[in-house]
């Protein structure tokens, strides 16, 4: 290659290669593959391209790019392989450097598992507009192409499907982002309760894309999750997990609708991906599901990958929890507590405690009376209980102070084990120190707001018509007012604004015609010749699209007195 385009920020390599093809001058797509990879035996792959060693070797002399640099900075590898063991990750990287393209997908389980990758190229309308303003052309962003990401982390707005399939037709052709294929046919409106979670997912996915955390064995992540599960009361130190409670709270946290949307529903019965992740097994699941669990357990990604959660000792694993659990059991047995009280203190079950007592050879301390177990002193009369109650009350008061704008019902989610203990042993005190939040509905004068917004909308539309052409749509108007999502959601409450926008908004054809008119006026003002190619270049309309608006362009040019040769070129397009 005599040149290679510089990748734009967050541009996926597929898009950069597509820009090369536009500028190469090659008539046939297959010749672009010979330029790029030195072979025809290759396909255009969006997520995990291969033969990158060939690509780097064919670049101009002194190009700064390396295969590994492109893999980490311009492909979706850092996201999809983020939770892959080191040896497997290295094999995937090697497949992308020089191997067959399908190998990487197979090793990541993207071929055999239940996850369906995006079918269409995706784009953010705000990024699309900014890219044209800054770089003169749009491009495909990495973050927008990740399966399960529905919001742009930069603009906090929905991303849309283009009208181009990722895997369809000629697989030896690169498809570039353009005004023709990045069209918003219908505004997307997500439920309010899902938007925050969508933004979380987009932000976390972006963190994975832009950081090389290093690859870990599955045992590392199992241990990290297990430590947090124990801390939040979903697991015990003896490796038992409260699966039903975990499943219920996890679904309540995300909602069934959102989990379905990100292809991670939780089955009511039997084994599911969530129960598998918190058990001791080495199965790897879709990267997005690790992010779901990490957010639920409030584990920052930097901590998940880099800081061992739990104890500071070198052991730092499940055996450490088991050892401490057994030491605590021995201490409780010396307090003359019942099996049930010991189980409650350990957040365990009487059956588990009995088995542990037998395994550890602890001498039974309780007395028998008619087959029943009893003790001389109840748990609530012990010093241990009084200490526990004092600590629990202090922790609850701290939570109330930390979250002054939340109700007790909301606060209990931050420490469910504490809340359960107080409910069981100190319910009257808890009732006296509970908090309810009274919300006062805000009354909105929608007629007044409608008139105010209408005035602003008219000013925006006027500016869009006077300057360089921008397509007049709900999205562009809302974006300029800073209320893009809100405006489209509340259109039914704004009849005057809705009627006006519906009367002025443009379909693609109307917009292209307005661009042609503007381009001709601009050429006239600059004293330049009105030729076919000058008009196309100034308007930013693809020559191939001109045939769809040929009648309208004929009329415009005829009124301008353009010569016959111009019209003939148009007729042949």
Q: What confidence tens digit (pLDDT) does each residue in 217-233 have?
A: 998 999 899 889 988 88
For 1-10, 362-371, 399-408, 521-530, which range has the lowest pLDDT when averaged over its residues?
362-371
**Residue 54 pLDDT:** 93
Whether residue 293 has pLDDT greater than 90: yes
**Residue 169 pLDDT:** 67
Query: Which spans in 427-549 are helix H?
Result: 427-432, 446-466, 474-481, 484-489, 495-504, 508-526, 532-539
Contact between 173 and 48 (Cβ < 8 Å): no
Which of helix, strand or coil describes residue 235?
strand
Cα–Cα dist 47/52, whole Å? 13
Whether residue 314 has pLDDT greater than 50: no
The stretch 58-72 carries a mean pLDDT of 93
For 128-132, 222-226, 342-346, which range has the lowest pLDDT when averaged over its residues?
342-346
Whether residue 373 has pLDDT greater than 50: no
User: Among the ranges 110-119, 324-333, 343-352, 394-403, which has the highest mean pLDDT value?
Assistant: 394-403
**pTM exceeds 0.95 for this model:** no
Per-residue tokens: 497: 């604004």
Whether residue 321 has pLDDT greater than 70: no
The alpha-carbon radius of gyration of the chain (Å, integer) is 31
Cα–Cα dist 41/58, whole Å? 15
Contact between 39 and 24 (Cβ < 8 Å): no
Strands 120-123 and 160-165 turn out to be antiparallel
Q: Shortest CA distance to 21 belongs to which of 40, 43, 5, 39?
A: 5
Whether residue 190 has pLDDT greater than 50: yes
Whether residue 368 has pLDDT greater than 50: no
Q: What is the DSSP string of 402-450?
A: H-TTS-HHHHGGG-HHHHHHHHHH-HHHHHHT----PPPPPP--HHHHH
Cα–Cα dist 326/318, whole Å? 13
**Residue 367 pLDDT:** 40
């Amino acid at each position: 290659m005599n040149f290679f385009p510089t990748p734009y920020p967050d541009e996926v390599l597929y898009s950069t290669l597509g820009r090369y093809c536009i500028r190469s001058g090659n008539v046939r797509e297959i010749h672009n593959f010979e330029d790029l990879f030195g072979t025809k035996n290759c396909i255009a792959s969006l997520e995990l391209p291969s033969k990158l060693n060939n690509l780097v070797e064919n670049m101009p002399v002194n190009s700064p790019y390396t295969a590994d640099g492109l893999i980490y900075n311009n492909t979706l590898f850092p996201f999809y392989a983020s939770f892959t063991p080191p040896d497997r990750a290295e094999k995937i990287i090697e497949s992308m450097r020089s191997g067959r393209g399908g190998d990487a997908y197979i090793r990541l389980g993207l071929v055999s598992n239940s996850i369906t990758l995006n079918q269409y190229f995706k784009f953010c309308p705000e990024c699309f507009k900014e890219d044209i303003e800054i770089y003169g052309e749009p491009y495909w962003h990495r973050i927008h192409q990740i399966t399960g990401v529905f919001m742009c982390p930069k603009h906090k707005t929905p991303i849309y499907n283009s009208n181009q399939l990722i895997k369809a037709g000629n697989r030896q052709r690169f498809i570039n982002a353009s005004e023709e294929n990045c069209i918003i046919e219908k505004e997307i409106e997500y439920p309010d309760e899902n938007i925050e979670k969508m933004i979380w997912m987009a932000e976390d996915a972006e963190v994975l894309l832009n950081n090389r955390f290093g690859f870990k064995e599955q045992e590392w992540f199992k241990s990290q999750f297990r430590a947090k599960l124990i801390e939040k009361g979903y697991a015990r130190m003896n490796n038992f997990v409260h699966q039903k409670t975990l499943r219920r709270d996890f679904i309540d946290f995300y909602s069934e609708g959102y989990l379905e949307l990100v292809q991670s529903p939780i089955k009511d019965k039997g084994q599911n991906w969530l129960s598998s992740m918190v058990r001791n097994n080495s199965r790897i699941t879709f990267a997005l599901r690790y992010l779901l669990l990490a957010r639920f357990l409030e584990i920052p990604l930097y901590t998940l990958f880099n800081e061992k959660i739990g104890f500071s000792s070198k052991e730092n694993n499940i055996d450490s929890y088991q050892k401490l659990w057994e030491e605590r059991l021995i201490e409780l047995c010396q307090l003359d507590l019942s099996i049930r009280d010991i189980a409650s203190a350990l957040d365990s079950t009487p059956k588990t405690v009995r088995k542990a007592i037998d395994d550890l050879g602890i001498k039974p301390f309780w007395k028998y009376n008619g087959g029943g177990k009893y003790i001389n002193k109840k748990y609530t009369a012990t010093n241990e209980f009084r200490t526990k109650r004092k600590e629990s009350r202090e922790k609850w008061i701290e939570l109330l102070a930390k979250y002054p704008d939340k109700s007790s019902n909301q606060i209990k989610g931050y420490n469910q084990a504490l809340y359960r203990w107080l409910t069981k042993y100190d319910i009257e005190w808890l009732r006296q120190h509970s908090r309810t939040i009274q919300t006062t509905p805000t009354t909105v004068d929608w007629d007044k707001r409608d008139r105010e917004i209408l005035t602003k909308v008219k000013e925006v539309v006027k500016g869009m018509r006077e300057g360089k052409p921008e397509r007049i749509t709900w999205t562009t108007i809302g974006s300029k007012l800073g209320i893009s999502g809100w405006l489209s959601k509340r259109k039914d409450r704004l009849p005057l604004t809705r009627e006006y926008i519906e009367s002025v908004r443009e379909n693609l054809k109307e917009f292209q015609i307005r661009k042609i008119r503007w381009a001709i006026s601009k050429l006239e003002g600059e004293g330049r010749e009105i030729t076919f190619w000058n008009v196309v270049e100034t308007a930013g309309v693809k020559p191939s699209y001109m045939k769809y608006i040929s009648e309208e362009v004929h009329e415009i040019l005829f009124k301008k007195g353009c010569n016959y040769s111009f019209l003939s070129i148009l007729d042949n397009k």
